[in-house]
Structure 1
Amino acid sequence: MKHGTSLANTPAMAQQDALHVSLFVEDELLRKGLQKQLSELAIVRLAHSCATLAELSRVLSQGRTDVLVVSGSRTAALRACLSGRSGPTPRVLVLLDESQLTSTTAVNALPADGFLLREEVTEQTLDRALAQLARNEMPMPLRLGRRLVDSLQETGRGRFPLSPLTERERETLMHLTEGLSNKQIARQLGISDHGVKRLVGNILLKLGTPNRTAAAVFALEAGLLTDPPSGAAAARGERR
């Protein structure tokens, strides 16, 4: 199959629930294997294969990609590609090599909404990860999750994040402790709903917590937040 071609499926699920998936993987054998696996999944309506940054930019400019599957070695190029774009940003599923699990700090820095280990990619794991992303959840290999927990325990019994939260992540975390929804947080921060989802995903990964409620509890118990972000009081008033 030529680069940039599409794979059309006959999805078993409702058409509106199926995803448009784009691949940005440098290894040709892996890319072709992923193409074949995606073509078998009912959750995938259409898949695009991109071997170069130019192809990826062209596909993303169409604004139809729901999920972008990218190898860990191409995340720097991906970050450059996404930084100058306007409009909806696809959810990013990063394929990690075993060697990349050794640095949780490096993993934290990746522009990802979810992770899969390259060695564990099958139709089943792909299907499960895509379904989690569709539900705005963060797929994460068990071994990576354990490493994150171990790192938390090594850095003061889990009282501090694996790497510092950005100011925007701190604002988002404060709003999580206020019980705001993603839509309310997006309105407070002046960003898109998906931008909030990405921030929440980063927070969960850095804190090593499984969900937003656990992240809020962790933040309050660990004293991670001192001064609330501007707009928190207004948000409280809005919910009354």
Structure 2
Amino acid sequence: MTIRVVVADDQELVRSGFAMILDVQPDIEVVAEAGDGAEAVEAVRRHTPDVALLDIRMPRMDGIDACRAISEDGSCRTVMLTTFDSDEYVYEALHAGASGFLLKDVRRDDLVHAVRVVAQGDSLLAPSVARRLVEQYTRSAARPRHPDPRLDVLTGRERETLLLLARGLSNAEIARELTVSDHTVKTHVGNVLAKLGLRDRIQAVICAYETGLIAAGAAGAPPSGGGFPSGPSPASARN
């Protein structure tokens, strides 16, 4: 099945570059490009793509408002493009319905992987964005010194899984860390999300910080370097 994509960025060279990278893939078709959020929303309504790749900062209508309109309008999933300059908007984009976040200097292969992951109904978050997101999310909130009672519904292994999710590990990496199979990890991740009422892995990362399971800036926090998001989450983790 071909993944249909809309690419929106007000910088023509950036937009065209992303479109070219994606359009040469045998399973991806860029059906439209847009120079601002309003054009992106219109393109999504006209072409009904599977994924919209949106720059956060765009004229006329920014990526956040476009993401919100697209999320409310239909089944198209959104991936936000951000730089360190625009991290203050990542929290807003999450609540607008974004399924993932990428840095604008993302590698070619990682961009393609991200589109495929999100098209499958999963979510992703670059570790460097994860760290900044959760620090911002929890900055104004008083975090408990000890894990929140909400975590009591989790088994010991599920709590370990949540901790490793918060560190930005993929399912395969979690499996190696816990010495279990990939299938077992998928079950644990699905149980964590279901028991805590979380939409996806992004919310799991936030939950780990918000509940005090992991502290912002701690050794176990997502790395601040480049990195790339966790691998696909199981079907039970999808929206």
- TM-score category of the 2 structures, normalised to the smaller one: 0.5 to 0.7
Structure 2 vs 1, CA of residues 43 and 115 (structure 1 numbering), >3 Å: closer, same or farther?
Answer: farther
Quote the residue 1:114 is aligned against.
100
Report what 1:75 is aligned to: 63
Q: Percent identity?
A: 17
Matches of 1:51 and 1:103 in 2, distance apart?
Answer: 19
Match of 1:36 among 20, 30, 40: 20
Q: Is the 1:160–1:207 contact (alpha carbons within 8 Å) kept by the matching residues of 2? A: no
Structure 2 residue corresponding to 1:49, chosen from 33, 39, 59: 33
Matched, 1:92 2:110: no
TM-score scaled by length of structure 1: 0.54
Which residue in the other structure is 2:130 paired with? 145
Question: What pairs up with 1:154-165 in 2 under 5 angstroms?
Answer: 155-157=143-145, 159=148
Aligned equivalent of 1:58:
42
Letter in 2 for 1:77: D
Please tell me the root mean square deviation across aligned C-alpha atoms, in Å.
4.1
For residues 200-215 of structure 1, what are the structure 2 equivalents within 5 Å? Answer: 200=200, 203-208=203-208
Q: What stretches of structure 2 of length at least 5 have no aligned partner? A: 151-190, 214-239
Deviations 1:86-144 (A, max 9, x none): 4x33110000111233676446445310010012x232111121122133322211212
Unaligned ranges ≥5, structure 1: 1-15, 162-172, 180-196, 210-214, 222-240
Offset, 1:28: 1.5
Asked which structure has the greater CA Rg, the reply is 1
Q: Structure 1 36/206 Cα, relative in aligned 2: closer, same or farther at 3 Å? A: same
Deviations 1:12-46 (A, max 9, x none): xxxx1x20000121111211111111122233133
Higher relative contact order (CA 8 A, sep 6+): 2
Partners of 1:148 and 1:208 within 8 A in 2: no
Q: Secondary structure at the match of 1:41?
A: coil
Q: Secondary structure at the match of 2:124?
A: coil
Deviation at 1:174, TM superposition (A): 10
For 1:69, the aligned partner's letter is: L
Q: CA deviation at 1:78?
A: 0.2
Checking the alignment, whether the CA contact within 8 Å between 1:114 and 1:138 is kept in structure 2 is yes
Count of matched residue positions in the alignment of Structure 1 and Structure 2: 166
**Distance change (3 Å), C-alpha of 1:202 and 1:41:** same
Over 3 Å counting, the alpha-carbon distance change for 1:150 and 1:67 in structure 2 is same
User: Kindly tell me: are residues 208 and 174 of structure 1, through their superposed partners in 2, closer, same or farther at Cα, counting changes over 3 Å?
Assistant: closer
2:102 match: secondary structure: strand
CA distance in 1, matches of 2:148, 2:66: 32
Match of 1:131, SS? helix
Q: Deviation per CA, 1:32-83, whole angstroms, max 9, x where unpaired? A: 1111111222331333101244533432223521000001112233046337
For residues 57 and 148 of structure 1, what CA distance do their matches in structure 2 show? 25
